[in-house]
């Protein structure tokens, strides 16, 4: 399931900046989501602050679950691939699958909209439509493209020095 993690200097020309990478290629089944999440959590324990780890894990679990539940709904599931790359101040995650693309209306939907409901009105609580919003809220940047039958979701999370600089800006 897991390819070995590698550590290599980044392409920035700064030899002190290291990148750690890990890849997963698994059948698109819900039982695989947990194993990826557990393996990735252990991998992230080295160098990623707990709050960022939690956000990354939540976003990845939601994205993988969406691929399985929606991308391959009514289809014979193929593989999904996840690539995780970590530097000292950011993580980049790429998720690839060949299921159905995310509908454009879902991509256009406001990320906050699924969370605008009356929590006292139990009958009005949304049952669906929160996954992509949770992915967007878990990461600092999210991009999606579907080309020639391959879907690619790219998610980025900053932490460390650059994240602190971002938070201190007015």
What's this model's pTM, rounded to 2 decimal places? 0.77
- Under 8 Å between Cβ of 75 and 158: no
Degrees to nearest 5, angle at CA 129 with 124 and 133: 115
Sheet with 6-9, side-by-side order of all strands: 6-9, 18-27, 79-86, 90-97, 150-158, 141-147
pLDDT score of 59 more than 80: yes
| Class of domain 18-117+128-168 (CATH, top level) | alpha beta
Cβ neighbours of residue 16 under 8 Å, at least 6 residues apart?
A: none
Q: What DSSP designation does 6 have?
A: E
Q: What angle do CA 142, 75, 37 make, to 5 degrees?
A: 45
Mean pLDDT, rounded, for 20-32: 95
CA distance 12 to 36: 29
Residue 20 phi, psi dihedral angles, 5° rounding: -110, 140
For residue range 94-139, list pLDDT tens digits in order.
Answer: 999 999 999 888 788 755 444 454 556 556 554 555 578 889 999 9
Q: What is the pLDDT of residue 20?
A: 93
The rounded Cα 25 to chain-centroid distance in angstroms is 15
């Amino acid at each position: 399931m897991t390819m070995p993690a590698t550590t290599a200097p980044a392409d920035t020309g700064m030899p002190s900046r290291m990148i750690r990478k890990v890849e997963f290629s698994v059948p698109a089944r819900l039982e695989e989501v947990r194993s990826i999440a557990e393996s990735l959590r252990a991998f992230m324990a080295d160098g990623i602050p707990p709050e960022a780890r939690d956000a990354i894990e939540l976003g990845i679990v939601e994205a993988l679950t969406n691929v399985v539940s929606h991308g391959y709904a009514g289809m014979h599931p193929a593989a999904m691939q996840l690539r995780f790359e970590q530097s000292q101040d950011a993580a980049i995650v790429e998720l690839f699958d060949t299921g159905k693309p995310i509908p454009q209306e879902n991509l256009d939907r406001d990320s906050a909209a699924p969370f605008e409901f009356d929590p006292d009105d139990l009958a009005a609580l949304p049952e669906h439509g929160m996954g992509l919003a949770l992915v967007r809220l878990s990461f600092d940047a999210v991009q999606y493209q579907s080309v020639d039958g391959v879907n690619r979701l790219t998610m980025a999370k900053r932490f460390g020095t650059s994240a602190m600089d971002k938070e201190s800006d007015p």
